[in-house]
């Protein structure tokens, strides 16, 4: 019998991915300090925070044991780590700084088996090449999609695709904050596979 699955995230975008994968899960929001540590690389940051979120959920869950998913994401441009913009002005500023550049997104993914006390962590990169954009296009995009809760200030599953000249990576779900290919691979080692009948 497989253990219950918990998504340690308040993100509606991550929930949508799990729904599309036909996984049964509960949601527990982690409450952690997401500040970077001095000299920490983006990869180290998202890997550490993904595991920290899973561990925080473990302390709050009502199950005896479970499989917990933790995830964290940052965008990196010109060596600067960028998070969620939070408002219109910051979103426009972020997108303006991306024009004609490549932005790398790093998504940390942790799968914690509380019964076995095993935690696997992976970091998935994904590159986005931004095309030349006018100020009017950027303003119009932000006005239409309000991407204030998205790292990088865009929704790749929506109109955000109009901002790009190219994409490079293993799994486009990585841009939404949950690398589905890697996640399914990790879950199969714990007996969770949506293609298997119960």
3-class DSSP assignment, residue 88: helix
DSSP 161: G
Per the residue annotation, which of 19, 33, 72, 78 is the catalytic one? Answer: 72
Would strands 164-169 and 26-27 be described as parallel, antiparallel, or unpaired? unpaired
Report the C-alpha gap between 6 and 25 in whole angstroms.
5
DSSP 149: T
Which residues, 6 or more positions from 112, have their beta carbon under 8 angstroms from its beta carbon?
A: 51, 54, 55, 58, 67, 68, 70, 118, 119
Active site annotation includes 72: yes
Catalytic positions: 72
């Amino acid at each position: 019998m497989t253990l219950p699955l918990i998504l340690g995230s308040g993100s509606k975008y991550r929930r949508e991915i799990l729904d599309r994968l036909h996984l049964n899960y509960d949601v527990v929001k982690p409450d952690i300090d997401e500040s970077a540590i001095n000299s920490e690389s983006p990869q180290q940051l998202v890997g550490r925070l993904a595991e920290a979120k899973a561990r925080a959920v473990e302390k709050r869950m009502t199950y005896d044991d479970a499989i917990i998913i933790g995830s964290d994401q940052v965008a990196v441009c010109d060596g600067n780590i960028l998070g969620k913009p939070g408002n219109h002005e910051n979103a426009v500023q972020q997108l303006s700084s991306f024009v004609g550049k490549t932005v790398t997104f790093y998504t940390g993914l942790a799968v914690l088996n509380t019964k076995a006390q095993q935690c696997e962590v992976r970091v998935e990169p994904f590159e986005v090449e931004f095309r030349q954009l006018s100020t009017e296009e950027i303003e119009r995009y932000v006005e239409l999609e309000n991407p204030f809760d998205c790292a990088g200030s865009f929704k790749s599953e929506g109109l955000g695709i109009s901002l790009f000249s190219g994409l490079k990576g293993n799994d486009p779900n990585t841009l939404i904050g949950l690398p589905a290919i890697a996640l399914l691979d990790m879950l199969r080692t714990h007996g969770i596979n949506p293609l298997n009948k119960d």
